[in-house]
């Protein structure tokens, strides 16, 4: 009697069993890129552009797994539809942006309070929480902060701290309330 050439490693997982994890790799990368892209106001276009091919690769791997003629494909075949549905539901509900803002709110509030009262924009890059701020201004009690790398090519997004009832003073095309007197704003230039 001869011994098998390749023995299963301790724990019982063979090399063939590890191939079942292949669909999870591209889905994980695509999900992380999508959530990171949605964590800034207006989205992060370079991350979003990187997420598209990752989702396409995930879809191709998923189709290849479905096409494989195995009697038992395993539960990982359901990973792509479930992960995609969950990620897109979280992004649609603005959960990544709201979580990133909640983490950064104390730093943004401190930075907004430190700005002098003036009409013109102050151009200085500064990190406030998880957001890099490129431009800032405070006038008539309203503070506007522009987040670097957010929005599309003809759009600039950021945050605004507006005292109650003064939203009409903002020159933004989209305004989303985040918490208290803080809003996410986007201004279209096109």
Instruction: Read off the pLDDT of residues 112-167 as tens digits, 9 standing for 90 and up.
Output: 888 888 767 888 788 999 999 998 988 888 899 999 888 877 889 999 999 876 77
Cα atoms in the Cβ-side hemisphere of radius 13 Å centred on 54: 20
pTM of the model: 0.80
Q: Which residue has the higher pLDDT, 74 or 111?
A: 111
Instruction: Read off the pLDDT of residues 88-102 as tens digits, 9 standing for 90 and up.
Output: 999 999 999 999 999
Residue ranges per domain, the chain?
Answer: 18-93, 96-188
Residue carrying structure tokens 């003073």: 169
Q: Residue 140: name the closest of 162, 164, 168, 114 by CA.
A: 162
Instruction: Read off the pLDDT of residues 54-88 as tens digits, 9 standing for 90 and up.
Output: 999 988 888 887 887 665 556 667 777 888 899 99
The whole-number pLDDT of residue 72 equals: 58
Partnered with residue 157 across adjacent β-strands are 186
């Amino acid at each position: 009697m001869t011994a098998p050439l390749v023995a299963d490693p301790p724990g019982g997982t063979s090399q063939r069993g590890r191939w079942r994890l292949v669909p999870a790799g591209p889905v994980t990368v695509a999900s992380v890129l999508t959530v990171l892209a949605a964590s800034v106001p207006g989205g992060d276009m370079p991350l979003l552009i990187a997420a598209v091919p990752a989702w396409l690769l995930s879809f191709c791997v998923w189709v290849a797994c479905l096409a494989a003629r195995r009697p038992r494909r395993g539960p990982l075949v359901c990973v792509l539809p479930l992960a995609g549905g969950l990620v897109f539901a979280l992004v649609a509900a603005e959960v990544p942006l709201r979580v990133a803002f909640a983490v950064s709110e104390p730093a943004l509030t401190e930075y907004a309070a430190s700005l002098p009262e003036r009409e013109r924009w102050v151009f200085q890059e500064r990190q406030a929480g998880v957001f890099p701020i490129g431009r800032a201004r405070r006038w008539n009690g309203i503070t506007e902060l522009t987040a670097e790398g957010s929005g599309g090519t003809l759009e600039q997004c950021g945050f605004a701290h507006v005292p109650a009832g003064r939203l009409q003073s903002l020159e933004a095309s989209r305004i989303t309330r985040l918490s208290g007197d803080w809003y996410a704003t986007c201004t279209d230039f096109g």
